Amino acid sequence: MDALTALHTRNSINLLSEPGPSESQLENIVKAGLRACDHRSLTPWKFLLIEGSARNKFGKLMVKAKEAADKRPISPELAAKLETKPLRAPTILVVVASIKEHEKVPEIEQVLSAGAAAQMMMTAAHAQGVGAIWRSGSMMFTPEMHQGLSLSETDQIVGFIYLGTPKVAKSLPAHKVADFLERWPGE
Ligand SMILES: Cc1cc2nc3c(=O)[nH]c(=O)nc-3n(C[C@H](O)[C@H](O)[C@H](O)COP(=O)(O)O)c2cc1C
């Protein structure tokens, strides 16, 4: 697939099955993330790979972090449901903004750079026929989630990218360029 076709046709696939991306597909995906725009070349990113049985532990961590986010215990039914969420895809990439201290590059720019890396990886997945969806949740902002993933205090999770084999084909939204682009008259 050529680059413009990949950029113009990427979409999210929420129904994903085995297999996850191969080693070489994963390498291409992360390599694309490393080409995200990056003010002052701070490389403010970290990517954690979660697959296989680690997804079960990640599910338990999600429950713990969700309880922390909600500031109350969650019902056993919801906990059981939440715990299996990571099993919806064979491979998960946690995209982390690894914030560096820099006088010219504020935190927001580094978080945006990590978001850009996530989008680059989504598109690289699509270009190789790997299905992907960017997921999030209040639990990703909790100290419990950070501790569980061994992240530092200055790290920020920007998303969980679920990767796998697409189970369904999805149509693209009919967005029109003209509805989003306007020329500023300069006066
Ligand atoms: C920062 C961010 C967080 C998101 N979190 C979720 C999420 O938790 N669950 C979900 O179903 N979609 C989430 N999405 C949206 C999907 O990833 C997807 O973009 C959306 O469903 C639109 O589909 P499309 O990408 O095919 O246009 C998130 C998107 C972004 C940018």
**Whether the CB of 28 sits within 6 Å of ligand 1:** no
The domain segmentation of the chain, as residue ranges, is 3-179
Predicted confidence (pLDDT) at residue 163 exceeds the cutoff of 90: yes
**Residue 111, ligand 1, Cβ within 6 A:** no
| Cα–Cα distance, 94 to 136 (Å, whole number) | 10
- Given a cut of 90, whether residue 185 has pLDDT beyond it is yes
Task: Out of 96, 136, 162, give the residue to mutate to test ligand 1, the one with the largest number of ligand atoms within 8 Å of its CB.
Answer: 136
The mean pLDDT value for 55-72 works out to 97
Mean pLDDT over 52-62 rounds to 98
Alpha-carbon dihedral of residues 120, 93, 10, 167, nearest 10 degrees? 160
Residues pairing with 5 in the sheet: none
φ/ψ of residue 13, rounded to 5: -120, 115
Pocket test for ligand 1, best of 8, 13, 66, 135 (most atoms within 8 A of CB): 135
Percent of residues, the chain, with pLDDT higher than 90: 98
User: Rounded mean pLDDT of 22-39?
Assistant: 98
Q: Is the CB of 159 under 6 A from ligand 1?
A: yes
60: pLDDT strictly greater than 90: yes
Q: Is the pLDDT of residue 169 over 90?
A: no
Is 46:96 a contact under the CB 8 Å cutoff? Answer: yes
Question: What is the CATH number that goes with domain 3-179?
Answer: 3.40.109.10
Reported confidence tier of residue 170, pLDDT bands at 50, 70, 90: confident
- Ligand 1 pocket check for 65: Cβ under 6 Å: no
In this prediction, residue 58 carries a pLDDT of: 98
Per-residue pLDDT for 2 more than 90? yes
Interval 81-99 mean pLDDT: 97
Atom of ligand 1 nearest to the CA of 122: 25
Mean pLDDT of the chain: 97
